[in-house]
Amino acid sequence: MAAPSRRRPPAPLQRIGMALLLLLALSWADPLLAAPAQPAAAATSPAAEPPSVDTLRRRLEAIPTLPDDDAGSRARLDEIYAIGAAASQLAHSRAGDLADLDSRLAGLGPEPEKGGVQEAPDVARQRAALNRQRASLDAELKLARLVAVDAGQRGADLVRQRHAQFQAALTARASSPLGSRFWRDLGAAWPTDRERLGALGAELQDAMATAFAAGHRLATSACLLGALLLAALGNWAARGIVLRVALAHLPGWRLRRALMAIGIAVVHAALAGAAAQLLLGGLGVGDGLSDRLHSLGRALVRLAAFAGFAIGLGRALLSHGHGAWRLAPVSDALAARLAPYPWWIVLVSALGGLLTEVNSAAGASLALEVGAQSLTALLVAALGGGALRRMRPAGAEPARPLWLGLLLACAGAACAATVLCVLTGYVALAGTLARQMVWSGMVFATTYLLLQLVDELCAALLSSSGSFGQRLCAGLGVRAGLLDQFAVLVAGVLRVALLFYMAIALMAPFGTGPGDLLRRGGTLDPRLKVGEFTLAPQAILGAFTVAAVGFMAVRAFKHWLGTRYLPQTALEPGARSSIVTLLGFAGGVVVAAFTLSALGISVDRIAWVASALSVGIGFGLQAIVQNFIAGLILLVERPVKVGDWVVLGDVQGDVRRINVRATEVELADRSSVIVPNSDFITKTVRNFTLANAQGRVLLRLPAPLDTDAQRMRAVLLQVFGAHPDVLPRPAPAVLLEGIQGGTLTFLAIGYVADPRRADGVRSDLLFGILEALRGAGLALSPPASTTVAPPGAAALPEAADSAPAAQ
């Protein structure tokens, strides 16, 4: 496929906006991309001796118990966890030393009893010294374990306090922008805020004057020019390089597209971060930056990389103007409609982050901070709503999958909730929702690209259709189908790992994992108590989440198993359906157990409920339970499986589906009959395809006594052999069944590949036999009868003895 033509660099105005974006955006990614705290003193190298217990104890007691701001709390948590790790390392070391001392003491033998034979003085002195060392090590080991436990408890307390502060901040209410108090507070605080912002601007002017002073002007100009070139032309040049490398060296068109998309996002992030770092380095020539400007600049560098990555993700997913490189199933018209939104959303987020960071650095008032957050949240919600409106499917576009529709519905609800929170005065909650929307969009987009990359990498490197996979098959002697199964399994495991880390990444703005987020609702007080069982709102929410996510995961696993993995095996379709159904039952039971556990229902309570329901099952649910157990027996023993042709009473047709309660059988007229599973266990079932999928056509043809039997046999064999659906093996057979009442009874037997075609073949054979007998001058005597039977059915003894090949 020819490479798509490259576009010219965007207009200068767009590039200038890009440069401003990379330099101004800060606070929204700062909590996520902030550099880790300085290594704690306890974080020693593996070869160094851990600090003493007393040192660790003093350091732990010196840490304040009350939480600080977000960065300070993270630093304290890092310090506490480092102390706990050092204490655990010290305890592990002392446990080994203690085991060595015990071995040495055991080598000295048991200590002599009082009044008995005394041991040698050297042995006694050595035993005493070893006992003193053992007592010291044992005391130090116990103290180290105590410090580790205290550090874990201190960290847990700090995390709980941070959660309480976070919830209190979210539920704090400020003045609504719709009221006059909001604007009065903003106007009253503006003179003071203007002075503080002016002081920060004066520091920036002094830094620029120092940077452009004589002796520093050349270096500063070079840094600024390099930053401008990287921001304006770097991405365009890098895109062309990545495109040429992908076309020249990357195998496979699909893998090439996935790697190209990831490369675009990474290159955007690297170039944006490098441009911001050059700008900071140019302004910092001559050490003219103050501490708060330098801290602000470092945060801007981190956010520049973040913003560049976000814009790169948008370009990689939409590929506006390069539809051949687009991974997502998005039409060109939709990509054109959505192309500006990644730029605008990141630009608004960056400007809001700039205002927040500048306010923090200048010490501006709370009113100005509330106003900045309100404006940013409203703009992000408006842009998100506009993007969702542009994503409405047109008539020619395909229908969206269910999961995408749910995501878009959640995004629309979040936009509406953000606007409502701002208008009602819950600005902190609105800002959190807006940041979470932007961050969630980035996480979902990154996960989608990585999922595509994982699938294509496994298909290119492990599939038997690829060159590397063919070399593996030849070198290791592995069957191609087995290698394809392994490729699908590896891709499935990697997809699960990516989805797990996606769930953790979605919780990153809250500073906790998924479990902590579900437990955060524990501060809500209203509960429903029934006897000894208490239903708390967080338990109900957690159980609902577990059930929804669990059943969606089971459904996705069944879909992957039935459409991706099992088709790569040698199993027949009926066995695949049985495996998928059984695993679906098992998954449903596991999800139900986890859901009840999330509600706080223990195993003994479940057993009590089951015993109470046993009475109801015995009276009203007996038939349902019987059919359910029968369905399990059908899936395990497989006397009847999907695809079999069965006869059960008056029902004759194909088994299409074995469900929990009943089995669906499709008749010849394409209608379906729902048969209870217990009927297949308790009644007589005729399965045409259990051991052999062939069907048999049996015709009993009476003829007058004076008929030439050999000629009659030859005519019948000729008609059977001429029919295209009659199998040559087993060969058709014509037997003389008997002579009775002046009539010869001929038994003609033929086999077909599918018992479903037996009726049609029988009709064709009868037409052919009548025409052939008429042409040969032979006749039949009434009545004539026909019988259709499977190859495993019992035939007449004469037929079995005379034509063994026909059985």
Residue 685 and residue 683: Cα distance in Å, rounded? Answer: 6
Q: List pLDDT tens digits, range 198-220.
A: 888 888 888 888 878 777 778 88
When mean pLDDT is compared across 35-44, 397-406, 451-460, 648-657, the lowest value belongs to 35-44
Assigned CATH topology for domain 695-806 = Alpha-Beta Plaits (3.30.70)
Side-chain half-sphere CA neighbours of 526 within 13 A: 2
pLDDT at 21 over 60: no
**DSSP β-ladder status, 695-704 and 662-667:** unpaired
pLDDT of amino acid 6 = 39
Alpha helices by DSSP H, listed for 753-792, are: 758-776
* Share above pLDDT 70 across residues of the chain, in percent, rounded to a whole number: 76
Residue 193 and residue 364: Cα distance in Å, rounded? Answer: 5
Q: List pLDDT tens digits, range 465-496.
A: 777 777 777 776 677 777 788 888 888 888 88
When mean pLDDT is compared across 235-249, 320-334, 430-444, the lowest value belongs to 235-249
What does the block give as tokens for 627? 């059919």
How high does pLDDT run on average in the chain?
75
What does the block give as tokens for 333? 């018209």
Query: For the chain, what percentages of helix, strand and coil (3-state, to nearest 5) are there?
Result: 70, 10, 25
Residue 560 and residue 553: Cα distance in Å, rounded? Answer: 10
pLDDT at 12 over 60: no
pLDDT of amino acid 691 = 65
- Residue 216 in 3-state DSSP? coil
Residue 503 and residue 494: Cα distance in Å, rounded? Answer: 14
Does 783 sit behind a cis peptide bond, omega within 30 degrees of 0 on the bond before it? yes
Q: List pLDDT tens digits, range 503-545.
A: 878 876 665 444 444 444 444 444 555 555 565 666 777 777 7
Neighbours of 762 (CB within 10 A): 19
SS (H, E, C) 708-763: CHHHHHHHHHHHHHHCCCECCCCCCEEEEEEEECCEEEEEEEEEECCHHHHHHHHH
Amino acid at 280: L
Closest by alpha carbon to 338, among 310, 319, 312?
Answer: 319
Domain 637-687 has CATH 3.40.50.1110: no
Task: For residue 535, give the H/E element and its range.
Answer: strand 533-535
Residue 743 and residue 404: Cα distance in Å, rounded? Answer: 74
Higher pLDDT, 785 or 170: 170
pLDDT of amino acid 137 = 84
Closest by alpha carbon to 279, among 334, 222, 331?
Answer: 222
Residue 674 and residue 662: Cα distance in Å, rounded? Answer: 6
pLDDT of amino acid 253 = 61
Higher pLDDT, 576 or 89: 89
Residue 30 and residue 41: Cα distance in Å, rounded? Answer: 25
Query: What does the angle CA 155 – CA 156 – CA 160 come to, to the nearest 5 degrees?
Result: 115
Output the DSSP codes for 618-685: HHTSHHHHHHHHHHHHHHHH-SS-TT-EEEETTEEEEEEEE-SSEEEEEETTS-EEEEEHHHHHHS--
